[in-house]
Structure 1
Amino acid sequence: MVKSGNTTRRQFLQVTAAAGAAGVFTSSAALVKGAESPNERPVFSTIGLRNQGWAITSKSTGLADFAALADVDANVLGTNVQRVKDRQKKAPDAYKDYRKVLDRDDIDAVMIATPDHWHTKVAIEAMLAGKDVYCEKPLTLTIAEGKLIEKMVKKTGRVFQVGTMQRSESGQRFLQAIALIRAGRIGKVQKITCGINGTNGSPEIPVASVPAELDWDLWLGPAPKVDYRALPEERKGYGGGVPLYSNCHYSFREWHEYAGGKLTDWGAHHVDIACWALGEDANSPKKVSPVSYTLPVEYKDGYPVVHDRYNVATKFNIKVDMPNDVEMTITSEGDNGILFEGTDGRFFVNRGKIVGAPVEALEKNPLPEGAVEDVYGGPIPSNHTANFIASMKSRKQPISDVWSHNRMLEICHLSNIAMRLGRDLNWDASKREIAGDDQANTFLARENRKGYEINM
């Protein structure tokens, strides 16, 4: 772990090699139980605090102590410093520049909830600084960034949890779904449909004055330098002070410069479960075809020519050819969730339900005892952070690891590239590049803005 004068806390974050070698499973809750003394709890910091940043912080204050918070928006930073103080009775230090967090030897791990275009740079620098990392999904802005993170995890040996909480915090429906498939309850899987909802375009968004509390240049960071844009009407329910339309807070998801729209937002949840169900030997795409889609602005050579409106796809129907003749569809139509279809049946699962004949049949023919736990790899925690802390102790990668996340996220990134270029893409999984399409391969990476390069 990170250098620290606190021997007790270091010992808490270690586990005996004998227990790991014996394959002893201890629940994540049990691994953190008893860490009641502040000296025995891991020390965390959150970088990026609006919305999901606070969500993961608030779920973790019972398991870790937060020594520092960082955000480029002074209002967001101040609000969340007070929130954490109210919970742990001690105010964390506040920084605008995340690098001040990484400079501290007393911080064991960072939780990253910045906009997507910042994830990779912060994560890599955190690992180089000796921190374990919990990073919100989608992990990367490009496929090349995923490779960089994998390289750094391997080089540094840091524990890295991706915040796809659907693997553990949305009840056991998704785990049950995978258990049903592994038990052969729908026969051979033939088709998987991931419904991830569409989005809406925007009106013309004018250049506006940057809010006094926001460091706009630092918010942009690795992304190209552009004007701040916003319409004054506020978006309800997102912490206040958020314009209904902008190229910043919350709405960053609607711009390819900073994110990947619904394909990498909700796709990072449902495509992840679909690939988990298929297994690691069959979860890389062979071909990605944009059957139908709507882009809200004109594109030329894969790039938007209009810069004052949202530019990610608003509607889409993507066909993905997977190994073993499995067809995956990613669509903005229909119910949000995943439909699994096989030779012997079908069922649907989302965060609110799991339904279908194979599910009904469980009443008379239940899954074998422990089948759901076998999917997870041990007892299932109610909190994604508990799994992260357990992994910090064992020094084994958590349930939502970098490699499995990147494999499924490649499908989402390729879907966006296919729509931007308007053509099918053939994927070479062994080389992790697009076969026979030099232009498309230029979209696998992006150059960071000068001064915000990733140094490894």
Structure 2
Amino acid sequence: MSRSSYSRRDFLQHSTIAAAATAVPFSWTTKAFANDEANDRPRIGCIGVGSMGTGDAQHHAHFGDVLAVCDVDMGHCLRAKNHDGIGKGKADAYEDYRRVLDRDDIDVVSVVTTDHWHTKIAVEALEAGKHVFCQKPLTLTLEENQLIRNACKKHPELVFVVGTQQRSQRDLFLRAVNMVHKGLLGDITKVTAGINGSPTGGPFKAVVPPADLDWYMWLGQAPLTDYMQRRCHYEFRWWYEYSGGKFTDWGAHHVDIATWALNQDKEGDGPVEINGTDAKHPVPYEDGYPTVDNCYNTSHDFNVICKYANGVELHVTSRGDNGVTFEGTKGRLFVNRGKITGKPIEENWDKDVWNDEAVRALYKDKPFEGHKENFYRCIREGGQPVSDVYTHVQTMNTCHLSAIAARLGRTIKWDPHTEQIVGDEQAAGFMARKPRPGFEILKV
């Protein structure tokens, strides 16, 4: 099939059947995604176009045409609409994401909102028949993990990728995971995920929201509260109302690598005990909730120990270097976004097992490429992306459990098979959150 004959209709028809059956082989290069004929390109809607969303939207525009941009901050929205690398002055601009999902001419949506909006929009996008790219962390609660996984199971014909780009860093994180999988470090006894601590700050003053911002919509499922500049946009990460602090912000990356390497990334896997006794918060807490509402409230100093049934410990910590350390009976290594170190690396213990074949296996029998390239390849060919929703849910279980244990300051028990906190009614109450009326997440 030639590029010129592969129309948008073919693209949609093929992507609909490919994930549900054996994919028809299709030969193309990365360049073939964004060819010169508009009807050969997927059509994209970008929901959330702040700082991160703008960068993601520019990347998506290499593979398709951005027909719509959406943000509750109209300043962000108009900037993306008129950006030469995104909307080019032609994309439609919306404040309400539902107007993007209602469009039949949108094939792919990019969801780069605040964390507490991710799952709701993503589930509705799947129900609307869209392929989904969603930034990490995908979920706000343990219940949301189950809701998004159920939605993806309902729609196997659609591709869903999570923005955990570390899974596409070949000579760093992929090499580390391969060494662990190949047993070169021996039996793993301990993994440390260094994710740094949240900043401290406040008290902050409540002010009138900017005219371009729909603050009521921005809050979404979260409790109605006065606008503070430091609650909004990038700073939302340091409030448990909208995020999980560093547990989910960086945990979605480094705990993900640890979970992948330990082969604890399948449904039914996960820790059985999470010790949050060594955790501090920048404001007073009572029963797991902050007692003041005008300061950052996520943990800034912690070492949470997650124990698996096989005895392996995963330390999720704010202390030490940012990165992941694997310790085994034969050796240890450290990896982050800038380096991979340790005797096994210095002596090339993996010289016979680190090759294109090993990388392809980690990429689920796809060729190595960036995570967005991998996303659009899976839409064309079928199959699961390297950063898939199912393994990410397992990572987020551990991240959310770590945050809950830290908030309560005690050890909690988790049954990874039933996906329930056991023997602790108060802790189990953190499984889900009651949304504001009108902002419930669809259960499918």
* In structure 2, C-alpha distance between the alignment counterparts of 1:363 and 1:188, rounded to whole Å: 15
Deviation of 1:270 after TM superposition, in Å, equals: 0.4
Note if contact 1:28-1:387 (Cα within 8 Å) is conserved in structure 2.
no
2:330 paired with 1:344: yes
Tell me which residue corresponds to 2:309.
323
Q: Deviations 1:244-303 (Å, cap 9, x if unpaired)? A: xx1111110000110010000000000000010011469511110014111111111111
Tell me which residue corresponds to 1:268.
252
* In structure 2, C-alpha distance between the alignment counterparts of 1:274 and 1:23, rounded to whole Å: 34
Tell me which residue corresponds to 1:235.
none
DSSP 3-state at the match of 2:202: coil
DSSP 3-state at the match of 1:324: coil
* In structure 2, C-alpha distance between the alignment counterparts of 1:204 and 1:17, rounded to whole Å: 53
Note if contact 1:179-1:371 (Cα within 8 Å) is conserved in structure 2.
yes
Note if contact 1:27-1:379 (Cα within 8 Å) is conserved in structure 2.
no
Deviation of 1:17 after TM superposition, in Å, equals: 6.0
What is the TM-score when the length of structure 2 is the normalising length?
0.92
CA change 1:150–1:206 in 2 (3 A) is same
Alignment of 1:360-371 (within 5 A): 360-362=346-348, 365-369=351-355, 370-371=357-358
DSSP 3-state at the match of 1:250: helix
Tell me which residue corresponds to 1:197.
196
Which residue, out of 217, 227, 236, partners 1:252? 236
Alignment of 1:10-89 (within 5 A): 10-13=9-12, 14=14, 21=22, 29=30, 32-33=32-33, 35-83=35-83, 85-86=84-85, 89=88
Tell me which residue corresponds to 1:300.
286
Deviation of 1:22 after TM superposition, in Å, equals: 8.2
Deviation of 1:388 after TM superposition, in Å, equals: 1.2
Deviation of 1:156 after TM superposition, in Å, equals: 2.7
* In structure 2, C-alpha distance between the alignment counterparts of 1:106 and 1:270, rounded to whole Å: 37
Deviation of 1:393 after TM superposition, in Å, equals: 2.1
Note if contact 2:81-2:89 (Cα within 8 Å) is conserved in structure 1.
no
Tell me which residue corresponds to 1:164.
164
Name the Cα RMSD after superposition: 2.4
Note if contact 2:161-2:385 (Cα within 8 Å) is conserved in structure 1.
yes
CA change 1:447–1:44 in 2 (3 A) is same
CA change 1:25–1:178 in 2 (3 A) is farther
What is the TM-score when the length of structure 1 is the normalising length?
0.89
* In structure 2, C-alpha distance between the alignment counterparts of 1:372 and 1:156, rounded to whole Å: 28
Tell me which residue corresponds to 1:106.
105
Deviation of 1:378 after TM superposition, in Å, equals: 3.4
DSSP 3-state at the match of 2:347: helix
Query: Is 408-417 or 393-402 further displaced after alignment?
Result: 393-402
Structure 2 letter corresponding to 1:333: R
DSSP 3-state at the match of 2:398: helix
Deviation of 1:324 after TM superposition, in Å, equals: 2.0
Tell me which residue corresponds to 1:233.
none
Tell me which residue corresponds to 1:443.
430
Note if contact 2:24-2:381 (Cα within 8 Å) is conserved in structure 1.
no
4+ aligned runs moved over 3 Å, structure 1: 15-28, 32-36, 85-90, 280-283, 363-366, 378-382
- Percentage identity across paired residues of the two chains: 44
* In structure 1, C-alpha distance between the alignment counterparts of 2:397 and 2:73, rounded to whole Å: 31
Structure 2 letter corresponding to 1:253: R
Tell me which residue corresponds to 1:452.
439
Structure 2 letter corresponding to 1:389: Y
Query: Is 424-433 or 285-294 further displaced after alignment?
Result: 285-294
CA change 1:186–1:128 in 2 (3 A) is same
Note if contact 1:26-1:378 (Cα within 8 Å) is conserved in structure 2.
no
Alignment of 1:199-214 (within 5 A): 199-214=198-213
Q: Deviations 1:318-345 (Å, cap 9, x if unpaired)? A: 1110232211111111111001110000
Which residue, out of 375, 383, 397, partners 1:388? 375
Note if contact 1:167-1:175 (Cα within 8 Å) is conserved in structure 2.
yes
Structure 2 letter corresponding to 1:416: A
Deviation of 1:34 after TM superposition, in Å, equals: 6.9
Note if contact 2:141-2:400 (Cα within 8 Å) is conserved in structure 1.
yes
Note if contact 1:216-1:228 (Cα within 8 Å) is conserved in structure 2.
yes
Q: Deviations 1:351-405 (Å, cap 9, x if unpaired)? A: 1111111112227944254223222223544432111111222343311111110
* In structure 1, C-alpha distance between the alignment counterparts of 2:155 and 2:394, rounded to whole Å: 21
Structure 2 letter corresponding to 1:271: V
2:354 paired with 1:355: no
Structure 1 letter corresponding to 2:202: P
CA change 1:135–1:155 in 2 (3 A) is same
Query: Is 154-163 or 65-74 further displaced after alignment?
Result: 154-163
DSSP 3-state at the match of 1:67: strand
Structure 1 letter corresponding to 2:56: I
Note if contact 1:28-1:380 (Cα within 8 Å) is conserved in structure 2.
no
Query: Is 268-277 or 89-98 further displaced after alignment?
Result: 89-98
Query: Is 171-180 or 135-144 further displaced after alignment?
Result: 171-180
* In structure 1, C-alpha distance between the alignment counterparts of 2:40 and 2:70, rounded to whole Å: 24
* In structure 1, C-alpha distance between the alignment counterparts of 2:23 and 2:231, rounded to whole Å: 51
Structure 1 letter corresponding to 2:53: G
* In structure 1, C-alpha distance between the alignment counterparts of 2:331 and 2:87, rounded to whole Å: 50
Deviation of 1:178 after TM superposition, in Å, equals: 1.0
Which ranges of structure 1 fall in alignment gaps of 5 or more residues? Answer: 1-5, 231-245
Structure 2 letter corresponding to 1:176: R
Tell me which residue corresponds to 1:410.
397
Structure 2 letter corresponding to 1:143: L
* In structure 2, C-alpha distance between the alignment counterparts of 1:283 and 1:337, rounded to whole Å: 23
DSSP 3-state at the match of 1:39: helix
DSSP 3-state at the match of 2:430: helix
Note if contact 2:277-2:410 (Cα within 8 Å) is conserved in structure 1.
no
